[in-house]
Amino acid sequence: MNDLTAHPARGASEASCFPAHATEGLAGTSFKHEHLPAILAAGRQHCFFEVHAENYMGAGGPPHDALTRIRRDHPVSLHGVCMSIGGPQPLDKAHLGRFKSLIGRYEPALVSEHLAWSTHETTFYNDLLPLPYTPATLTRVADHVDEVQEAIGRPILMENPSTYVLFAESTMSETAFLRELVRRTGCGLLLDINNVFVSATNQGYSALDYLADFPLEHVGEIHLAGHAEQSDDEGELLLIDSHDGPVADAVWKLFDRVIGRSGPIPTLVEWDSAIPDWPVLKAEAEAAQAILDRHAGSTTREKVHAVG
Amino acid sequence: MRSAEQHGRGITPFSYADDFTPALLDPERAAPAAVRGPNGKAAKKRYDVYRNNVTVSLIDALAAVFPATQRITGTDFFRAMARFHVRATPPTSPLLFEYGRDFPDFIENYEYARQMPWLMDVARIERAWLDAYHAADAEPLPPESLAAVPAPRLADAVLTPHPSTRILRSRFPAVSIFAANRGDGPVGPIDAVEPEDALVTRPHLEVIIRRLPPGGAIFLMHLIEGGSLGMAAAAALEESPQFDLTANIAGMVGAGAFTAIGGDENDGH
Give chain A's end-to-end CA distance (angstroms, integer).
Answer: 37
Q: Contact B240/B160 with Cβ under 8 angstroms?
A: no
Cβ neighbours of residue A231 under 8 Å, at least 6 residues apart? A237, A238, B45
Q: What is the per-residue pLDDT across A34-70, written as a single tens digit (0 to 9) for each?
A: 999 999 999 999 999 999 999 999 999 999 999 999 9
Q: Helix or strand or coil: residue A167?
A: strand
Task: For B169-179, give one letter per residue: b (16+ CB within 10 A) or e.
Answer: ebebbbbbbbb
Task: For A237-268, give one letter per residue: b (16+ CB within 10 A) or e.
Answer: ebbbbbbbebbbeebbebbbebbeebbbbbbb
Q: Contact B59/B96 with Cβ under 8 angstroms?
A: no
Q: What is the per-residue pLDDT across B157-169, written as a single tens digit (0 to 9) for each?
A: 999 999 999 999 9
Q: What does the pLDDT read at residue A299?
A: 57
Distance from CA of B221 to the nearest CA of A (A): 14
Which residue of chain B is at minimal alpha-carbon distance from A132? B16
Nearest by CB to B54, which of A89, A121, A126?
A: A126
Which residue of chain B is at minimal alpha-carbon distance from A62? B205
Instruction: Judge if pTM exceeds 0.90.
Output: yes
* DSSP result, chain B: --HHHHH-TTSSTT-HHHHHSTTTT-TTSPPPTTEE-GGG---HHHHHHHHHHHHHHHHHHHHHH-HHHHHHH-HHHHHHHHHHHHHHS--SSS-GGGTTTTHHHHHHT-GGGTT-TTHHHHHHHHHHHHHHHHSPP-PPPPTTTTTTS-HHHHTT-EEEEPTT-EEEE-SS-HHHHHHHHHSSS--------S--EEEEE-SSSS-EEEEPPTTHHHHHHHHHTT--HHHHHHHHHHH-TT--HHHHHHHHHHTT-EEEEESSSSS--
Q: What does the pLDDT read at residue A306?
A: 43
Chain B residues close to A59, C-beta within 8 Å? 134-137, 163
Closest CA to A126 of B100, B27, B179, B226: B100
Distance from CA of A43 to the nearest CA of B (A): 22
A34 touches chain B (CB under 8 A): no
> Residue A195's beta-bridge partner residues?
none
Q: Helix or strand or coil: residue A278?
A: helix
- Determine the Cα–Cα distance for residues B159 and B141; give it in Å rounded to an integer: 9
Cβ neighbours of residue A65 under 8 Å, at least 6 residues apart? B205
Cα Rg for chain B, rounded, in angstroms?
Answer: 25
Q: Contact A188/A155 with Cβ under 8 angstroms?
A: yes
- Considering chain B, what is the average pLDDT of its residues? 92
Chain A residues close to B163, C-beta within 8 Å? 59-60
Closest CA to B244 of B203, B214, B264: B214
Nearest by CB to A165, which of B46, B135, B138?
A: B46
Q: Which residues 170-209 of A are in CB contact (within 8 Å) with B?
A: 202-205
Which residue of chain B is at minimal alpha-carbon distance from A116? B17
Q: Contact A267/A27 with Cβ under 8 angstroms?
A: yes
pLDDT tier at A308, thresholds 50, 70, 90 = very low
Q: What does the pLDDT read at residue B5?
A: 41
Q: What is the per-residue pLDDT across B132-141, written as a single tens digit (0 to 9) for each?
A: 999 999 999 9
Architecture of domain A21-295: Alpha-Beta Barrel (3.20)
Chain A residues close to B97, C-beta within 8 Å? 55, 58
Chain A residues close to B138, C-beta within 8 Å? 60
Chain A residues close to B205, C-beta within 8 Å? 61-62, 65
Asked if B13 lies within 8 A of A58 by C-beta distance, the reply is no
A137 touches chain B (CB under 8 A): yes
Cβ neighbours of residue A103 under 8 Å, at least 6 residues apart? A78, A111, A152, A154
Q: What is the per-residue pLDDT across B35-92, written as a single tens digit (0 to 9) for each?
A: 999 999 999 999 999 999 999 999 999 999 999 999 999 999 999 999 999 999 999 9
Which residue of chain B is at minimal alpha-carbon distance from A167? B35
Distance of CA A166 to the CA centre of its chain: 22
Distance from CA of B129 to the nearest CA of A (A): 12
Sheet holding B208-211, edge to edge: B166-169, B197-201, B208-211
Q: What does the pLDDT read at residue B263?
A: 66
Asked if B134 lies within 8 A of A132 by C-beta distance, the reply is no
- Determine the Cα–Cα distance for residues B232 and B225; give it in Å rounded to an integer: 10
